[in-house]
Amino acid sequence: MTITRTGLLAGKQIRRLGFGTMRLTGPGTWGPPASESAAIQLLRKAVDSGVQHIDTADAYGPNVAEGLIRKALFPYADDLVIATKGGFTRQGPNRWTPCGFPAYLRQCVELSLRELNVEAIDLYYLHRVDPNFPLADQVGELEQMRREGKIKALGLSKVDIPQLKQAMTIAPISAVQNSFSVLDQQSESVISYCEQNEIAFVPYAPLGAGKYFDTSRVSDDPTSATHALKWLLDYSPVMFPIPGTSRIEHLLENLRSDIES
């Protein structure tokens, strides 16, 4: 396979290195950022610097990150993919509880449509499979909303191959978002399956949530963020990393990683 720096996501050929918005909220992914204006400036700088894939979720805040995206980027560029997720409830900082009740998932989609101010969401993920409800019911409800024109493409997050295969019998799956990085390669078989089935793989925490890589080091240093992101982009043509940051200098450093050497 030929490795390229662009790829197909939710029907659009875009730059594969995107931007994750989880870190644009308060501590514990709870509440607003310390500075809303700084978060808005960062989002605008990302898109101005060539980012074409913004990843978010209704649970980030909750209901904070999507609103920041709307304030920063609406009206959205035609070549921009905005991906969001639903299926979690939040009880406080660092507290997440899956909820796959189909009526709740429908509500999540409707609220994200309103928060983002769009008629249809480019890419919508089931944020987490809830073991208390059949997977068919969870994916089936989202597929119904896709057929209603409220979702353009569907994705799954934190799934294994059996779950992915089952979901694919119910709906077309465009993307999978699992943890994957230089230090966490447990999703290798899922990535291979995605390659075989032309499904985008979006690694969350591509830099180990910022704990393991130094953004101040040179790009060929194995402990640098740039090195880690280059490794991901070279790993597979279906890889769409979404590093997140709250600082413009780190954003620009990350974006250097998809410049062909």
Q: Which residues are catalytic?
A: 60
DSSP letter for 204, please.
B
* Residue 40 vs residues 64, 79, 83, 256: alpha-carbon distances, Å: 12, 19, 17, 21
> 243 to each of 65, 91, 190, 249, how far by Cα in Å?
15, 25, 20, 13
Beta bridge partner(s), residue 54:
19, 82
- Spatial contact of 116 and 82, defined as CB atoms under 8 Å apart: yes
Selection from 140, 137, 131 nearest residue 160 by Cα: 131
